[in-house]
Structure 1
């Protein structure tokens, strides 16, 4: 995927990772589902965020969350992803860990002709996002190839 501001530069997997991390961090801060944040941004703004990710990663993540919240008019909700059954989920994965899970899944499931923004929209709007974000089960702990195969097959 080409950077829209510097056409001779490629958007890297690390740029995708940063955007996935910020989606997760923003959604948790607002108590929203990741899907809400992704759809509020839309493809054009996702392409923008992917293109500036190599610069934005040096900013304070809380500042980026604030900027996204105000720029894209994101609203608070009542979904607390960290509200889990402590007997089933002793450890809740961090935003960074979940950003990596999503980054790998997007890369592993990209189809010819799709770019990272298409992959973000496809994955975060699919059934697998709900499974991965249910920390009472172990879907997010599965190896990345297994999660990608489950996505392709329509279930675990």
Structure 2
């Protein structure tokens, strides 16, 4: 995928990882599903964010989080991903952990000629995210090839 602002520069998997990490941060802060953040921001703005990710990753993540919330008028919800049964989940994965899970899933299940932004929208709108984001289960820490296979087969 080509950078929107510098046509000789490619958007990298590291840029994808950063955007997935920030989607997770913003969603957790607002008590929303990741899908809400992705769909509210939309394709064009996600493309912009992917194109500036190599600069944003050196910024304070809390400031980037606040900027996204304000710039895209994201609203608070009532979904708290961290409310888990402590007998089933004693350690909640971090935003970085889940950024890795989702960026790998996007890359591992990429469609022919699909760009990263389309991959983000495709994956975060798939029902499998409900299973991955249920930390009372084990889906989120399965190896990436297992998660990709489950995605392609329609579930775990």
Give TM class, smaller chain.
Answer: over 0.9
Aligned equivalent of 2:151: 151
TM-score normalised by length of structure 1: 0.99
Correspondences of 1:5-154 after superposition (within 5 Å)? 5-154=5-154
Moved segments of 4+, more than 4 Å:
none
Structure 2 distance, partners of 1:154, 1:27, is 24
Shift of 1:113: 1.8
Shift of 1:75: 0.3
1:57-103 deviation per Cα after TM superposition (whole angstroms, max 9, x unaligned)? 01111101110001000000111100000000001000000000000
Give the root-mean-square deviation of aligned CA atoms: 0.5
Shift of 1:119: 0.4
Aligned residue pairs total: 156
Unmatched 5+ stretches in structure 1: none
Structure 2 distance, partners of 1:81, 1:150, is 21
Structure 2 distance, partners of 1:91, 1:114, is 34
TM-score normalised by length of structure 2: 0.99
Structure 2 distance, partners of 1:138, 1:60, is 31
Structure 1 distance, partners of 2:33, 2:153, is 23
Structure 2 distance, partners of 1:21, 1:67, is 15
Structure 2 distance, partners of 1:6, 1:54, is 12
Structure 1 distance, partners of 2:142, 2:87, is 19
